[in-house]
Amino acid sequence: MSQSPTSKPDPALLDAIPEIPRNKRLRGKEAEEFWARAVKAYDGGHPIRAICTRSGRAYGVVHRNLLVREVVFRSPGGYRGNGTARKQPSNGGPRHPGTHERGKAG
Protein backbone atom coordinates (compact mmCIF):
# COMPACT_ATOMS: atom_id res chain seq x y z
CA MET A 1 0.00 0.00 0.00
CA SER A 2 1.70 3.17 -1.14
CA GLN A 3 1.14 6.75 -0.11
CA SER A 4 -0.72 9.22 -2.27
CA PRO A 5 1.62 11.80 -3.83
CA THR A 6 0.25 14.59 -1.62
CA SER A 7 0.57 12.95 1.80
CA LYS A 8 3.74 13.13 3.88
CA PRO A 9 5.57 9.89 4.71
CA ASP A 10 5.24 8.62 8.28
CA PRO A 11 8.57 9.34 10.06
CA ALA A 12 8.06 6.29 12.29
CA LEU A 13 8.57 4.02 9.25
CA LEU A 14 12.02 5.47 8.68
CA ASP A 15 12.86 5.43 12.39
CA ALA A 16 12.14 1.68 12.45
CA ILE A 17 15.09 1.04 10.12
CA PRO A 18 18.22 0.26 12.14
CA GLU A 19 21.62 1.75 11.35
CA ILE A 20 23.88 -1.02 10.10
CA PRO A 21 27.63 -0.74 10.78
CA ARG A 22 29.78 -0.30 7.68
CA ASN A 23 30.82 -3.59 6.00
CA LYS A 24 28.47 -5.67 8.16
CA ARG A 25 26.66 -8.38 6.24
CA LEU A 26 23.04 -9.04 7.02
CA ARG A 27 22.05 -12.69 7.04
CA GLY A 28 19.03 -14.81 7.77
CA LYS A 29 16.30 -13.44 9.98
CA GLU A 30 18.17 -10.17 10.61
CA ALA A 31 18.33 -9.49 6.86
CA GLU A 32 14.68 -10.36 6.29
CA GLU A 33 13.56 -8.06 9.11
CA PHE A 34 15.74 -5.22 7.83
CA TRP A 35 14.50 -5.48 4.24
CA ALA A 36 10.87 -5.86 5.34
CA ARG A 37 11.23 -2.53 7.20
CA ALA A 38 12.95 -0.94 4.20
CA VAL A 39 10.14 -2.06 1.88
CA LYS A 40 7.55 -0.75 4.33
CA ALA A 41 9.35 2.63 4.54
CA TYR A 42 9.60 2.90 0.73
CA ASP A 43 5.97 1.89 0.24
CA GLY A 44 5.09 4.42 2.93
CA GLY A 45 6.52 7.23 0.80
CA HIS A 46 10.15 7.57 1.90
CA PRO A 47 12.74 7.93 -0.89
CA ILE A 48 15.49 5.38 -1.40
CA ARG A 49 18.12 7.97 -0.43
CA ALA A 50 16.45 8.49 2.98
CA ILE A 51 16.55 4.73 3.58
CA CYS A 52 20.25 4.74 2.59
CA THR A 53 21.07 7.62 4.91
CA ARG A 54 19.23 6.06 7.83
CA SER A 55 20.64 2.56 7.40
CA GLY A 56 24.15 3.28 6.12
CA ARG A 57 23.62 1.02 3.10
CA ALA A 58 24.64 2.16 -0.40
CA TYR A 59 21.97 3.34 -2.87
CA GLY A 60 22.63 0.44 -5.24
CA VAL A 61 22.28 -2.13 -2.45
CA VAL A 62 18.96 -0.68 -1.30
CA HIS A 63 17.62 -0.29 -4.85
CA ARG A 64 18.64 -3.84 -5.81
CA ASN A 65 17.08 -5.37 -2.71
CA LEU A 66 13.83 -3.45 -3.21
CA LEU A 67 13.81 -4.67 -6.82
CA VAL A 68 14.33 -8.28 -5.71
CA ARG A 69 11.37 -7.88 -3.35
CA GLU A 70 9.23 -6.72 -6.31
CA VAL A 71 8.58 -3.20 -5.02
CA VAL A 72 6.75 -0.97 -7.49
CA PHE A 73 9.04 2.02 -7.92
CA ARG A 74 7.68 5.56 -8.02
CA SER A 75 8.63 7.94 -10.79
CA PRO A 76 11.54 10.29 -10.01
CA GLY A 77 10.57 13.32 -7.98
CA GLY A 78 8.46 11.54 -5.39
CA TYR A 79 6.62 13.57 -2.77
CA ARG A 80 5.99 17.24 -3.42
CA GLY A 81 4.82 19.21 -0.43
CA ASN A 82 2.86 21.70 -2.52
CA GLY A 83 0.47 19.02 -3.80
CA THR A 84 1.51 19.25 -7.44
CA ALA A 85 2.52 16.20 -9.37
CA ARG A 86 4.81 15.95 -12.36
CA LYS A 87 2.94 16.04 -15.64
CA GLN A 88 3.49 13.30 -18.17
CA PRO A 89 2.81 13.65 -21.90
CA SER A 90 -0.86 12.76 -22.32
CA ASN A 91 -0.63 11.60 -25.93
CA GLY A 92 2.16 9.07 -25.43
CA GLY A 93 4.26 10.95 -27.99
CA PRO A 94 7.71 12.41 -27.63
CA ARG A 95 8.37 14.81 -24.77
CA HIS A 96 9.76 17.42 -27.16
CA PRO A 97 7.38 17.97 -30.07
CA GLY A 98 9.05 18.26 -33.42
CA THR A 99 12.16 16.26 -32.56
CA HIS A 100 10.76 13.10 -34.14
CA GLU A 101 10.78 14.78 -37.55
CA ARG A 102 14.54 15.42 -37.61
CA GLY A 103 16.42 13.59 -40.26
CA LYS A 104 13.48 13.19 -42.61
CA ALA A 105 14.20 14.02 -46.22
CA GLY A 106 12.11 17.01 -47.21
**pTM for this structure?**
0.66
Residue 31 lies in a domain: yes
Give me the domain span that covers residue 67.
11-16+26-72
Question: What is the per-residue pLDDT across 53-76, written as a single tens digit (0 to 9) for each?
Answer: 999 999 999 999 999 999 999 887
Asked if the structure places residue 48 within a domain, the reply is yes
Could you tell me if residue 41 is inside a domain? yes
CA distance 40 to 37: 5
Domain membership of residue 64 (yes or no) is yes
Tens digit of pLDDT for each residue in 1-31?
Answer: 555 555 788 999 999 999 999 889 999 999 9
Instruction: Give how many domains the chain has, as a whole number.
Output: 1
Residues 34-55 have a mean pLDDT of 95
Give the model's confidence band at 81: pLDDT under 50 very low, under 70 low, under 90 confident, else very high.
low
Of the listed ranges 47-51, 62-66, 92-96, the one predicted with least confidence: 92-96
Residue 6 has a pLDDT of 56
Looking at the domain assignment, is residue 98 inside a domain?
no
Residue 104 inside a domain? The answer is no
